[in-house]
């Protein structure tokens, strides 16, 4: 009879698994997906012929009525046979939603009942495609003692919390955990667990978000380990796809000596970072902040190298940023260095430097602008047919500058 019911279920629901059906109706322990899910005998409250199987999440409202029963005092409770399948529900698409709805009732007894059933499986749930949502909700509604027990379970093994943070699903739970930390003991436990894996986290697609959540939710003093490690491994982090983004967040969230150290390390390696695919963003960020000591250090490094930097794919963006955000004296230094280049016509024809020249045309004024226009015009014959220099010669600022020059010359004559 049981086999016939299971067969009919499979026809109605293609994703239906008879092994799950067997467990939900009092079957024996089986292993699925690498995890052993032990079930105690019988869910007597559920009729095997009903369409509402807890594991499949069908007819959630009816299953919810079976899980939660009213008490004599007017309150509700999670019935005993509901506890037997809570772990499996937490890892099921529909089951985890049902458990989250139970949490929404705000009944601490319900939370405790569910908590007692899953506390031995928190790591397994954190990295589960559906279990991670259940764990995030549990962290929102649990009390401090329960949160501490979850944290202890997730940090019992060395580097366990780091490995969870690197997981696509686990990173969400760890971020939620950091958001909900309340006590000094909890904060210290998280810091000691993730500090050894700082580099792995900051350079990982998932893990870097855990570091960023620390920056957002913890105090500057608690984030001291992040700021110190970021300064120590500044170049390695700045030249990494994910690391360069987090490094900018570190600068943004840090203050005092921590910020000064980070800015100093980036400025000290300005030439190297400016030419890197990701490091150039860190340098541009520092330039935008316009911290006098950092700007002075960077511009002294760049001086005499602007022509070379302008012809490089990534550092050309840094030169443009210098022209756009720094003071008139620095702009003048850059533009005069470009004008004095031995082969200026090569800059006009360069796939990267031509953009620098266009920016120089846009930001320069007065005699300096006229000098730049004059030099460009003098190389018109050999450069105007280049696909890159065409952009410069068609630039309206150049045409306006040439018109002004011709007017001045005519008046002089």
Task: State residue 164's pLDDT score.
Answer: 98
**Does 11 have pLDDT greater than 60?**
no
* pTM of this structure: 0.78
- Residue 16: the pLDDT is 40
Select from 103, 121, 136 the last residue of a domain: 103
pLDDT in tens, 354-397: 999 999 999 999 899 989 988 988 888 766 677 787 777 776 65
Q: Is 123 left (phi over 0), alpha (psi -120 to 50) or beta?
A: alpha
Q: Over 70: is that where the pLDDT of 34 sits?
A: no
Whether residue 204 lies inside any domain: the answer is no
Asked whether residue 144 is assigned to any structural domain, the reply reads no
Residue 194: phi, psi to the nearest 5? -100, -15
Whether pLDDT at 74 is above 70: no
* 350 within some domain: yes
pLDDT in tens, 222-266: 999 999 999 999 999 999 999 999 999 999 999 999 999 999 999
C-alpha distances in Å from residue 204, one per residue of 85, 122, 154, 327, 361: 35, 23, 20, 38, 41
Does 120 fall in a domain?
A: no
Length of the chain: 413
Q: How confident is the model at residue 297 (pLDDT cuts 50, 70, 90)?
A: very high
Are 53 and 88 within 8 A, CB to CB? Answer: no
Q: Are 363 and 324 in contact (CB under 8 A)?
A: yes
> At residue 33, what are phi and psi to the nearest 5 degrees?
65, 25
Residue 119 belongs to a domain: no
Give 3-state DSSP helix, strand, coil % of the chain, rounded to 5. Answer: 70, 5, 30
The chain-wide mean pLDDT, for the chain, equals 82
pLDDT of residue 41: 33
Is 389 contained in some domain? yes
Given this model, what pLDDT does residue 71 score? 59
Distance CA 21, CA 3 (A): 10
Q: What is the mean pLDDT of residues 198-219?
A: 98
User: Considering the domain boundaries, does residue 411 fall inside one?
Assistant: yes
266 neighbors 232 (Cβ within 8 angstroms): no
Q: Which residue has the higher pLDDT, 27 or 390?
A: 390
Q: What is the mean predicted confidence (pLDDT) over 130-143?
A: 97
Give me the percent of the chain exceeding a pLDDT of 90: 68
Q: Using pLDDT thresholds of 50, 70 and 90, give the confidence band for residue 53.
A: very low
User: Structurally, how many domains does the chain consist of?
Assistant: 2
pLDDT at position 55: 41
**Position 175 pLDDT exceeds 50:** yes
Q: Which of 82, 103, 124 is the last residue of a domain?
A: 103
Q: Which of 103, 131, 149 finishes a domain?
A: 103
| Position 234 in a domain | no
pLDDT of 318: 98
- Determine the structural domain holding residue 345 and report its residue range: 305-413
The CA angle 85-33-205, to the nearest 5 degrees, is 110
pLDDT (average), residues 279-285? 98
Residue 412 has pLDDT above 90, yes or no: no
Give 239 or 73, the one with higher predicted confidence: 239
């Amino acid at each position: 009879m049981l086999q016939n019911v299971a067969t009919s279920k499979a026809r109605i629901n293609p994703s239906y698994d008879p092994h799950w059906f067997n467990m939900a109706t009092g079957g024996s322990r089986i292993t699925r997906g690498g995890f052993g899910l032990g079930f105690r005998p019988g869910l007597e409250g559920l009729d095997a012929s009903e369409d509402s199987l807890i594991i499949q999440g069908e007819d959630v409202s009816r299953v919810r009525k079976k899980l939660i029963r009213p008490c004599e005092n007017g309150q509700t409770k999670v019935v005993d046979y509901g506890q037997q399948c809570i772990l499996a529900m937490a890892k099921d698409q529909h089951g985890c939603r049902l458990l989250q709805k139970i949490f929404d009732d705000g009944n601490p007894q319900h939370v405790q009942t569910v908590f007692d059933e899953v506390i031995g499986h928190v790591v397994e749930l954190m990295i589960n495609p559906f279990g991670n949502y259940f764990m995030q909700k549990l962290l929102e509604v649990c009390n401090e003692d329960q949160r501490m027990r979850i944290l202890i379970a997730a940090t019992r093994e060395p580097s366990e919390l780091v490995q969870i943070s690197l997981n696509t699903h686990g990173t969400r739970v760890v971020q939620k955990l950091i958001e909900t930390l309340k006590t000094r003991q909890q904060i210290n436990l998280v810091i000691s667990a993730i500090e050894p894996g700082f580099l792995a986290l900051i350079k990982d697609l998932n893990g870097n978000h855990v570091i960023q959540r620390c920056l957002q939710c913890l105090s500057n003093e608690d984030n001291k380990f992040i700021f110190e490690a970021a300064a120590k491994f500044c170049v390695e982090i700045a030249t990494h796809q994910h690391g360069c983004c987090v490094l900018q967040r570190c600068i943004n969230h840090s203050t005092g000596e921590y910020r000064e150290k980070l800015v100093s390390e980036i400025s000290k390696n300005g030439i190297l970072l400016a030419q890197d695919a990701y490091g150039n963003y860190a340098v541009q960020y520092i330039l935008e902040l316009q911290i006098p000591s950092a700007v002075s250090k960077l511009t002294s490094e760049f001086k005499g190298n602007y022509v070379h930097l302008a012809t490089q794919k990534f550092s050309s963006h840094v030169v443009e940023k210098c022209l756009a955000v720094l003071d008139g004296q620095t702009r003048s230094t850059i533009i005069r260095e470009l004008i004095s280049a031995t082969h200026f016509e090569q800059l006009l024809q360069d796939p990267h430097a031509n953009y620098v020249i266009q920016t120089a045309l846009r930001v320069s004024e007065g005699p300096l602008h006229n000098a730049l226009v004059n030099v460009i015009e003098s190389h018109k014959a050999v450069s105007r047919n280049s696909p890159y220099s065409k952009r410069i010669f068609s630039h309206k600022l150049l045409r306006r500058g040439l018109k002004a020059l011709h007017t001045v010359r005519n008046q002089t004559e």
